[in-house]
Structure 1
Amino acid sequence: MESTQEHLLADEAVVNLEMASSGKRFANYLIDIASFYAFIFALSLIIVIFNPTFFDVFENASAGVDLLDRLVTLLLYGLYMGTVEAVFKGRTLGKLLTGTRAVNEDGSTISMGTAFKRGIIRAIPFNAFSALGNPCYPWQDKWSDTYVVDVKKSILPANE
């Protein structure tokens, strides 16, 4: 009987999530914001090649246009981050370089919907300040029931 019990326990999936450090989270943010601006620069370059007068509207912009520009940039950042996390299953360039990953609370891979939810939450003004604190648990994690974990220190579900 003992051997059957040991066999059943051996088949159970052991999951241990080790939260990414604040330093790694900050590095993720810096790398991801740089990759976002590189993406926006490349996109702008393509737009200018096909429509050279597209950005003339913004030259003598009023305060209202400047505010609209900032809000659109926040929204694009959220969509960019959501798309990248959806396509790469919880990873971004920053997370790839720091060895971290966004996962559900049970350690499973985040869905496309969860990735976009995390991305849109990032578009909320002052969201970056929600990451201050120890442990680092910003709104995009709290409100989407996810964690960013250190992949090497965590034991994730076998099917991941």
Structure 2
Amino acid sequence: MNTVDPMQPPVEQDLFSEMEPVLVQADGGLRFVNLLVDRLLFMGFIYLLGFLLGMFAPGSVDWLADINPIVDFLLTSVLFSLYIGFQETLLNGITIGKFLTGTRAVNADGTPISAQTAFARGFSRAVPFEAFSALGTPCLPWHDSWTNTYVIKEKESRLGNN
């Protein structure tokens, strides 16, 4: 039988503690799988695009054969940034790689990222050697720290009052 001691003050329960987000960051291994899957799918997308352009507009991609390696890097970086930005915008912080690993990009407070933040994350990846910034523990690459975002494990995190 539970009795309340009248001499003890009542125990207060914090009603808002269940509403606070709990963000469990994805580790470097999951982040690497995300990168690998997204890069491979991006390469497949670019090859498909090149094939379709060559098929329906012969000669339209001939200029790519003699492209400068620096221009090639810049063009590829911009296209990858757009590719990732569109996915994170349309899928609410998820890319195909993140979908496969059960992760999602969110703002530091646990709210969904905006389109502006998604594209800023994408274009931050174009900075040379940016991928090496993910090697630390905890894994916080520049595209996360510059945009004040995290990649979280969805099943282990609680966003808002879920």
> TM-score category by the smaller chain?
0.7 to 0.9
Q: Which residue of 1 is the match for residue 4 of structure 2? A: none
- The Cα of 1:14 is off from its aligned counterpart by 2.6
Secondary structure of the 1:9 match is: coil
Q: Which residue of 2 is the match for residue 29 of structure 1? A: 35
Q: Following the alignment from structure 2 to structure 1, what is the Cα–Cα distance between the partners of residues 52 and 104?
A: 31
Secondary structure of the 2:111 match is: coil
Q: Following the alignment from structure 2 to structure 1, what is the Cα–Cα distance between the partners of residues 16 and 140?
A: 33
Deviations 1:55-80 (A, max 9, x none): 22233x26xx2221121001111111
Return 5+ residue gaps in structure 1 as ranges.
none
Q: Following the alignment from structure 2 to structure 1, what is the Cα–Cα distance between the partners of residues 16 and 118?
A: 32
1:153 to 2:159 alignment: no
Q: Following the alignment from structure 1 to structure 2, what is the Cα–Cα distance between the partners of residues 127 and 151?
A: 25
- The Cα of 1:153 is off from its aligned counterpart by 0.9
C-alpha contact (below 8 Å) 2:104/2:152 kept by paired residues: yes
Over 3 Å counting, the alpha-carbon distance change for 1:122 and 1:158 in structure 2 is same
Deviations 1:18-42 (A, max 9, x none): 0001110010010010111111112
Q: Following the alignment from structure 2 to structure 1, what is the Cα–Cα distance between the partners of residues 125 and 16?
A: 40
Identity of counterpart residues, as a percentage? Answer: 45
1:118 to 2:124 alignment: no
Q: Following the alignment from structure 1 to structure 2, what is the Cα–Cα distance between the partners of residues 41 and 57?
A: 16
Q: Following the alignment from structure 1 to structure 2, what is the Cα–Cα distance between the partners of residues 102 and 58?
A: 34
Q: Following the alignment from structure 1 to structure 2, what is the Cα–Cα distance between the partners of residues 95 and 87?
A: 13
- The Cα of 1:123 is off from its aligned counterpart by 1.4
1:128 to 2:131 alignment: yes
Structure 1: 4+ residue segments shifted above 6 A: none
Q: Which residue of 2 is the match for residue 88 of structure 1? A: 91
Return 5+ residue gaps in structure 2 as ranges.
1-9
Structure with the larger helix share = 1
1:40 to 2:40 alignment: no
Q: Following the alignment from structure 1 to structure 2, what is the Cα–Cα distance between the partners of residues 81 and 102?
A: 12
TM-score (norm 2): 0.87
CA RMSD of aligned residues (A): 1.9
TM-score (norm 1): 0.88
Question: Larger Cα Rg: Structure 1 or Structure 2?
Answer: 2
Amino acid at match of 2:127: I
Q: How many residues align?
A: 153
